[in-house]
Structure 1
Amino acid sequence: MAEPCNPSDGTVLPNHMELSSSQLGFLDDHFSTCNDLSSSSSTMASDLAAMLNQICAELDSDLQSLQRNLTKLTVSWIYRSFAAKTALHKLNLNLHNLTIHTTSQYGIGLKKTQKILGEDLPRLMKEMLQIENIRNYAETTLKVEALVGDLEDAVFSVMKRQNRNIFSAILSNSSISTDLGARQEKLLQALKAMNDIEEVLVTVVKIHPDWLCLMKSVDTRVDKTLAVLRPQVLADHRALLASLGWPPKILASKIESGKIQDLPNPLVLMQADKSKTYSESFLALCALQHLQSRRDERQLNILRHKERDIGLWAIDELVSPIASRTEYHFSKWLDQPELMFALVYKITRDFILGVDDVLQPLIDRARLVSYSAKEAWVHGMIQMLSGFLEKRVFSVLAERYKENQARQEVISSWLHLIDLIIKFDKQMQSLMVTEAQLFGGSEGFSRGISVFSIFCDRPDWLKIWAKIELKDACKKLKVESKDKRAWLVDNRHGTELHIAGTIEEFLLYSREDHKAPLIAESALKIAWEMIERSQTLPTILPRSQFIRLTSARFLWYFFDVLLWHCKGTEFHSDVLDDDSLTRVCISVNAARYCESKLQEWSDDVSFLEMRITENVSNCPTEDDASDNRCFFEEEIKILSELETSWLMEIITDLLQQFETLSWEYVQINEHGGREQREVEAVNFTISVEFVEALDTIRSHLNVIRTSLNPKDFSDLWRSVANGLDHFIFRSILMSDNRFSDQGINQFGADMQALFVIFQPFCARPEAFFPCIRDSLKLLKMDKEDVRHLKVILLGDEDRMNYLRCSGISHVSFDQAWRILRNSKFKI
């Protein structure tokens, strides 16, 4: 650093100890010697001073601008947030310190500015957003408070006008209409305020779902207001209906005699002024219901998941006075429930056209999309009857069902009621066929438009109904199973099995194709009738539960009946008779037919839906619920096992009997020079010891062919052929029996006789006896081929390839060598 010096103009410079290191460094960079401060170098100093003054002026301008903006923000928002005020105060102090040290500490001031831009301003922005959120909350609160106040004022006006007329004597129809019209305006104001409140809350749910306290507070106040308003609106509407003469009088004597005439409809007969008043009241009630539905959807978040509500409060108010009048008649008809159903259907049918003509235009004016006046009317009438049946009929029957003495009477009454309900539901559905097509109605009954909705809410009654149906079904089947004609098979259908058959011949469709007995058709018919009765249940899960408790269990009962039918037919090789074979074949046919029908049922869309619903209700995760196996999987599985077991039993006993009858034939040590028997229709003779075995197997196969369905018979005879092939190959060809020339010829004749037995079933039966066929080729080889085979045996050539080239593919080389060793060649 240059030594200190005093300038010639007498200016006193500060002591270097009074300057900071940064200031000294700055001076050293621009004034290295004392001559730099002389008058000759004043230009350098003046330029430097000008530069410093410009920098300071720019910094001062930036600082002043920043202070002005900061002051404005502080004045505007300081009263809203104490935390923001504290942060702004600290920032102001930092800026003030920056002003003091700008000239002397230019580098430090730059770092301060970067800190302000990088840290303080983002923090300030966060505080500003919090203040903005508070402002929005306050504004929303004030807005909702005003709307709730308007709602409460309007409701108070409605109630005040009503209370003013409480002490009046008897109101005439005109005074009622006038009073209702006066309150209608205030009611509309209340509905408008409620709608505005709901609009605000829907927006809050979307944008600020964390404002729970605000929404809860508003909902509480609105709920209190609705608790006062809705009963009043309903009371006004009921008073208006009474002034219109609703409902018309019903004469019980004409009902019981069956001479009830068409009832007059006051909705169609009302005059213009009353029609206008009623329309306004109807629209107000629809609007109130619509607002309540919107509130429920918002509060419960069920907009996309709830079932479509088909009821309308205004139409329910038409049903309510009818219910109070008909209940008196219903109570007298507890032993004649058909009269209840007839009356409800009569009232519903007589009024449905008037309801549709008068009320559907009002529903359209109210913009209630997808609502139908017919559907709501039918729904209300069904719910009226369902409520009475639940309270006064089924509850009593369910209690009496627990008593053994009254159980039979309860079963009869219960089934009679079910038949009446099925008929009634179909009648009510026929009244709204157009609505079902227009509003997407599907097969079956929607919840609420079926009396069977009672069982959806009472699973204990559903189980009682299922027990009754199951017991009745088993009783019917038991009676039919005792009839011998039910187990007969029509042998005239499909008895011919052509050799050159096609695949279509083994496709089984009808009971006759399966050769199933009539008992199988009866069992499936009974099971399907219970399934059809379950289709009246309006929801899928109860429907599935009912089928599991009735049809599925009934099928298992039928499976036990099939097992019982086979009882006592356990075969033994020495007592295998045609009657036992036929009984088992009939059971196999019945099982096969039931399996095909259950698979057909399970492929139906309704059963697929039930299976999916069961999976969803039983499985906690979607991955587990994605298992879409068929509905009757367990039943199909057990039928398949029964079929396999019975067929294997037949095959096993046929082979065992053949082995027993051919024991002497197998034990012969030398095949040749034995007694022979000439057989008709063939040009060769058969060994005497082999005739009985062949004749027995032929006879049994013919019986089975006549009794068993074509598909299973095809599998059975192939399995029998395969078993015989292995038995003869192991017991004769792989034994130490010796074959002379005559013995080889006789063995070939015997095997040809065996092939002939299977000739009716295929074109080339020897193809199903591969081991015997290959053995005969070996036994009939000439000496030259045998010597060649011996060379191959002693050499290293591929032995199996040689056998395959010779047309022998099912006998190993060792087995072939053993056969030739016991032949006439003795190699």
Structure 2
Amino acid sequence: MATPHTPAAAISAPVVPRRLLGFLREHFKTPDDLDNAPSLVAKLNRECEDLEIGLRDLEERLSVASSSWLSRSDEAQRILRRIQSRGGELETEQERMGRMLDVELPLLAKEVTRIETVRLYAETTLQLETLVGDLEDATFAMVSQTSINDTLFGLPVASNPHDNGRKQEKLLLAVKVMKNIEQILVKIATCRPRWIKLIMAVDSRVDTCLAILRPQTLRDHRALVSALGWPPSLLTSDIEKNKSLGIPNPLVLMHGEKKHIYSQSFVTLCALQHLQAEREARHSLKYEKERKLYLEHIYLDRKTCFINGLWAVDELVHPIAARMEYHFSKWFDQPKFIFALVYKIAKDFMDGIDDILQPLIDQARLAGLSAKEAWVTAMVKVLLGYLERQVFPVLVSTYHTSDKNVEVLSSWLHLLDLMITFDKRIQVLAASGSQLLGPLLESENFSRSLPILSIFNEHSDWLQIWANIELKIAHDKLKCEMEDEKNWLCSARQQSEFGYEEEVDAFLFSTREDYKAPPIAESVVKIAFAMIERSRALPSNGMKIQFVRSSTTIFLSHFFVILLQRCQDLELMIASAEDDAFLKVSCSVNAARYCESVIREWDEDVTFLEMTVDVNDVCYGKENYEHDHQHSLSFFSNEIMYLIKLGTDCLENIMSAILLEFDALCWDYMQNVGQWEELTESKDQVMDEENLVVSSDFVEALDMLRLQIRKLKLHLNSKDFLDLWRSIAEGLDYFIFSSIPWTDVKFSNSGVNQFKADMSALFHIFRPLCFRPEAFFPFVSECLKLLSMNRKDVDYLLKMLIKDERIKSESLQLQGVYHVTYNHAEKIWRNRNFGG
């Protein structure tokens, strides 16, 4: 680069610096002044000789100062050695070596490091000073040339190709210098964070140059675009429509010098934007770890630098925006035309934008950046701006001031539906033509152009209004569904026989019918899922979380409370064959289980997994979450836990009601000691349980139990029914075992047979549900084993156990008794009457 001290003959650039031009104008105002040229040359030669003499003098002074510093340094080292060597006769060689290693060498290393740091700081400062000086010279030259063109020639930039080309060269030079400066500053920020004042000083001067370069570059580019005939007319005549399928694109009509100048301006503007984006990214890094990561990947993902669009493409859209908004104002009550116009213009210019601008983007080395996405982003920003300024404020005001009637809610939903539909269409349009994406465009949303729903980024209150509207409509739909009592009936499968083989299907549920859930459960799931589907259009997880939490989860929680209330009604009812309490509760349990299974499926969706990570990051901190996964919860964990508790509590209430009713019906049977002590009248009479009928006091309880289990089997889902009947069996087992007064009753042979017959009838109720029901009655079964033992074995065991108490538990286990304790077994044996 030419500097102010470079001789005129050595300047290779054709551009005459402003200072030299001013100097020549001052000394050669008229043709007669040319006679003074020899004297002026002699004067300049004398000044150059004086400057060279001064330069040599400075070099000699620098050499003398360096020699003086070195001599003083050597003298200081000798003095330090003499001081350290005092008393050397008393210091051994080993001690001297130890002192050198422990004290002197670390100090020397520290001093060398300090000197090296000072040297590096001086070199870096000098390098940055040179680069910043070159940047300021290039900025000054560019601005000066613009001022000269404006004042002397009075011509716009675009109509002066030669001058515009020289300005682009200056701008490219300035961008190149700024890139070099930025690379040095990134290394300093990463490796030398204490040099913050140097970074701040350089940033201040570079920002000053950027504040001049960017507006000037944008003005030049805007003038160039206008000179090319942009923007075209949004409306075409009938003749033009017959000639072309779309609006003529001036970019496609460019050729020759105009195309070259525009391409150069486009690439330069992209480079300037990328540079500023890199500087902003560096300023946002607060921690050393982030700086190192940024330094490693600084050139890998340029697309993130242009997430809000390209300046050069924005300059194409700005003049179109004014014309579009003129039409927008006429269609306030018909927003569908607004979205249609934006989409049409975006689509009509898409091919031309891609053909002309994509090669320029590639030339600017913006890897992975799409011209289509940049164009779509710019068009969406126009629509976003209009909606934010003109449309949404009116809707929000109407929502707050009205009574939220159907018309207001319909206006909101109509606009939101248009936005969601527009966003899907525009994203597909932005990603069109990609052979890699194919049919996945719509489902996966691979395009990174600006989504229209990003309007809620800065307006979370608007997003909350949307969620409230969705919630109100969902509640209204649910209310209509709940009014029909048929929607609460279980979808039971009519079966004549209940075999235990059917239990293998307990964990193969897939549909509402498998869960025997009422239709209301499926309606709730569909309504909730519809709200979730609408939330997928939101561009960020934060907005999705707010929307789902404010609509879907509240709606589900409201329905779950209704389920709980229906289940709690059982506590006020008496379980009997005549009422339908168990049917009502069974349907509620089935609905809860079905909703739980569906919500678990939602939790496994990638969208909710990502949202869960964001929620946990907020709750526990990112580092704690990464190192402590036990705190990780699913997105719907609260809802799932609520449903689990609801189902468990309802099943416990059913079991308790059945056990209490069984207790009330057979209490007299349990307390009737005489029925088990009665002796047979004839020793020849065979007393076998197969020849006995069930005790009359026990029949009613068994009949109630059989009827309720049959109804639960018919209406309750198989998994919960499996857990329930086993719990009922366990409860009955313990109830019978603890209710019989074993200490007071002396079982006779006929009493044992009668007890066996009664228990067999009890087991028979559960036989359709399993192969060996007695296995679920361990206490009762073991008591029957103890009662069925003959006198000889009982006497032998009692004598052996009295002699050696250590084998008590082992002896019982040998008899197949694992639950009844020895003390209890001893009571049964000692009260056993073998006389009849």
TM-score by length of 2: 0.80
Q: Residues 201 and 743 of structure 1: is their aligned pair in 2 closer, same or farther, counting only changes over 3 Å?
A: closer
* Structure 1 pair 571–138 and aligned structure 2 pair: CA distance change class (3 A): closer
Structure 1 contact 382–451 (Cα < 8 Å) conserved: yes
Q: Distance in 2 between matches of 1:126 and 1:587?
A: 77
Instruction: Tell me if 1:710 matches 2:697.
Output: no
Match of residue 309 from structure 1? 306
The equivalent of 1:748 in structure 2 is 756
Aligned with 1:536: secondary structure?
coil
Per-residue deviation, 1:821: 3.8
- In structure 1, the residue matched to 2:176 is 192
Matched, 1:79 2:87: no
- Please say if residues 607 and 631 of structure 1, whose CA atoms lie closer than 8 Å, have aligned partners that are also in contact: yes
| Post-superposition offset of 1:736 | 2.4
Amino acid across the alignment from 2:394:
V
Closer, same or farther: CA 793–355 of 1 in aligned 2, 3 Å: same
Distance 1:458 1:575 in 2: 57
User: Does the CA-based 8 Å contact 1:411-1:468 persist in structure 2?
Assistant: yes
Contact 1:493 1:513 in 2 (8 A): no
- The residue number in structure 1 matching 2:136 is 152
Structure 1 residue 293, shift from structure 2 partner: 2.1
CA contact (8 A) 1:500 1:763 kept: no
Q: Which residue of 2 aligns with 1:628?
A: 632
Q: SS at 1:345's partner residue?
A: helix
Aligned residue in 2 for 1:539: 540
Change in 2 beyond 3 A, CA 1:746/1:128: closer
Give the deviation of 1:629 after TM superposition: 1.8
1:83 Cα deviation after fit? 8.5
Q: Distance in 1 between matches of 2:158 and 2:738?
A: 109
Could you report, residue by residue, the CA deviation over 1:584-631 in whole angstroms, capped at 9, with x for unpaired residues?
000001111111222222122322221111121232462256432211
For residue 566 of structure 2, what is the aligned residue in structure 1? 565
How far, CA to CA, are the matches of 1:549 and 1:531 in structure 2? 11
| Structure-2 change in CA distance of 1:379 and 1:693 (3 Å) | same
User: 1:652 and 2:650 equivalent?
Assistant: no
Report if the CA contact (8 A) 1:493-1:515 is conserved: no
Please state how far the C-alpha of 1:263 moved relative to its aligned partner. Answer: 1.9
Match of 2:778 among 751, 761, 770: 770
SS at match of 1:399: helix
Assess if the C-alpha contact under 8 Å between 1:400 and 1:407 holds in 2. Answer: no
Residue number in structure 2 paired with 1:513: 514
**Corresponding residue to 1:642 among 642, 646, 651:** 646
Q: 2:356 aligns with which of 358, 361, 370?
A: 358
How far apart are the structure 2 equivalents of 1:135 and 1:178? Answer: 45
Partner of 1:175: 159
| Structure 1 gap segments, 5+ residues each | 1-73, 255-259, 676-681
1:490 matched to 2:499? The reply is no
Which one of the candidate residues 227, 232, 256 is aligned to 2:216? 232
| Contact residue 154 and residue 190 of structure 1 kept, 8 A | yes
Q: Out of 803, 822, 826, which is 1:817 matched to?
A: 826
The structural deviation recorded for 1:683 is: 7.0
| Aligned 8 A contact 2:419 2:452 in 1 | yes
Contact in 1 for aligned 2:339/2:422 (Cα 8 Å): yes
- Matched-pair contact (CA < 8 Å) for 2:577–2:707: no
Letter in 2 for 1:628: S
In structure 2, which of residues 195, 204, 207 is the aligned counterpart of residue 220 of structure 1?
204
**Quick check: 1:668 aligned with 2:672?**
yes
Give the deviation of 1:221 after TM superposition. Answer: 1.4
1:90 positional shift: 4.5
Q: Please report the RMSD computed on the Cα atoms of aligned residues, expressed in angstroms.
A: 3.8
CA spacing shift, 1:771–1:432, aligned 2, 3 Å? same
Match of 2:728 in 1: 720
Q: Does the C-alpha gap of structure 1 residues 723 and 749 become closer, same or farther in structure 2, counting only changes over 3 Å?
A: same
Residue 30 of structure 1: aligned partner: none
Q: Summarize deviations over 1:182-227 as a string: whole Å, max 9, x none.
A: 4223222322332333344345445544333332222211211111
Report how far residue 312 of structure 1 moved: 1.4
Q: Residues 92 and 661 from structure 1, CA distance in 2 versus in 1: closer, same or farther, beyond 3 angstroms?
A: closer
Gaps in structure 2 of 5+ consecutive residues? 1-59, 239-243, 295-300, 681-689
**CA pair 170-735 structure 1, distance change in 2 beyond 3 A:** farther
In structure 2, the CA distance between the partners of 1:89 and 1:595, relative to structure 1 (3 Å rule), is same
The one of 687, 697, 704 equivalent to 1:696 is 704
C-alpha separation in 1, matches of 2:67 and 2:790: 116
* Contact 2:431-2:447 within 8 A present in 1 as well: no
User: What is the SS of the residue equivalent to 1:457?
Assistant: coil
After superposition, the Cα gap between the structure-2 partners of 1:437 and 1:663, relative to the gap in structure 1 and judged at 3 Å, is: farther
Show CA shifts across 1:727-749 (max 9, x none).
22222253623433333222221
Kindly tell me: are residues 808 and 264 of structure 1, through their superposed partners in 2, closer, same or farther at Cα, counting changes over 3 Å? same
> Residues 8-47 of structure 1: matches in 2 within 5 Å?
none
Q: Indicate the SS of the match to 2:694.
A: strand
The SS at the match of 1:662 is helix
> Bigger CA drift: 189-198 or 488-497?
488-497
Task: Tell me the amino acid that sits aligned with residue 150 of structure 1.
Answer: D
CA contact (8 A) 2:563 2:588 kept: yes
Residue 27 of structure 2 corresponds to which residue in structure 1?
Answer: none
Is the 1:725–1:770 contact (alpha carbons within 8 Å) kept by the matching residues of 2? yes
Deviations 1:12-38 (A, max 9, x none): xxxxxxxxxxxxxxxxxxxxxxxxxxx
Residues 484 and 674 of structure 1: CA distance in aligned 2, closer, same or farther (over 3 Å): farther
Residues 1:812 and 1:279: Cα distance change in structure 2 (over 3 Å): same
Task: Tell me, in whole angstroms, the C-alpha distance in 1 between the residues paired with 2:782 and 2:72.
Answer: 106
| Equivalent residue, structure 1, for 2:427 | 429
Is the 2:463–2:547 Cα contact (8 Å) retained in structure 1? yes
SS in 2 for 1:417: helix
Q: Take 1:79 and 1:231, find their aligned partners in 2: how far apart are those partners? A: 48
Rounded to whole Å, the distance in 1 between the matches of 2:764 and 2:182 is 89
Query: Does structure 2 conserve the Cα–Cα contact (< 8 Å) formed by 1:444 and 1:536?
Result: no
Identity of aligned residues (%): 46
Distance, in Å, in 1 between the alignment partners of 2:794 and 2:464 is: 78
Cα displacement string for residues 654-705 of structure 1 (whole angstroms, at most 9, x for unaligned residues):
0111111112322323116799xxxxxx975222221111111111111111
AA partner of residue 275 (structure 1): K
Partner AA of 2:657 in structure 1: D
Cα distance between partner residues in 2 of 1:410 and 1:666: 69
Residue of 764, 787, 810 corresponding to 2:795: 787
CA distance 1:320–1:644, shift in 2 (3 Å): same
The one-letter amino acid paired with 2:165 is G
Q: TM-score, normalised by structure 1?
A: 0.81
Conservation of the 8 A alpha-carbon contact between 1:820 and 1:826: no
1:730 aligned residue (712, 734, 738): 738
Q: Which residue of 1 aligns with 2:768?
A: 760
* Structure 1 residues 82 and 661, CA gap change in structure 2 (3 angstroms): farther
The one-letter amino acid paired with 1:443 is E
What residue is the counterpart of 1:581 in the other structure?
A: 582
Match of 2:28 in 1: none
- Which residue number corresponds to residue 807 of structure 1? 816
2:378 to 380, 404, 411: 380
Q: Which amino acid aligns with 1:366?
A: A
Deviations 1:408-451 (A, max 9, x none): 54422222222111111110121133688869999357775211
Larger displacement relative to structure 2 (499-508 or 385-394): 499-508
Deviation at 1:78, TM superposition (A): 7.2
Instruction: From the CA coordinates, give the structure whose radius of gyration is larger.
Output: 1
Hey, what's the Cα distance between the residues in 2 that align with 1:733 and 1:615? 57
2:50 — aligned with what? none
- On the 8 A contact 1:665/1:690 being kept in 2, the answer is yes
| Partner residue, 2:148 | 164
The equivalent of 1:549 in structure 2 is 550
1:244 counterpart (228, 242, 245): 228
User: 1:129-184 deviations in whole A, cap 9, x for unaligned?
Assistant: 65665454444434433333332232223223323344689858972545433422
Equivalent residue number for residue 12 of structure 1: none
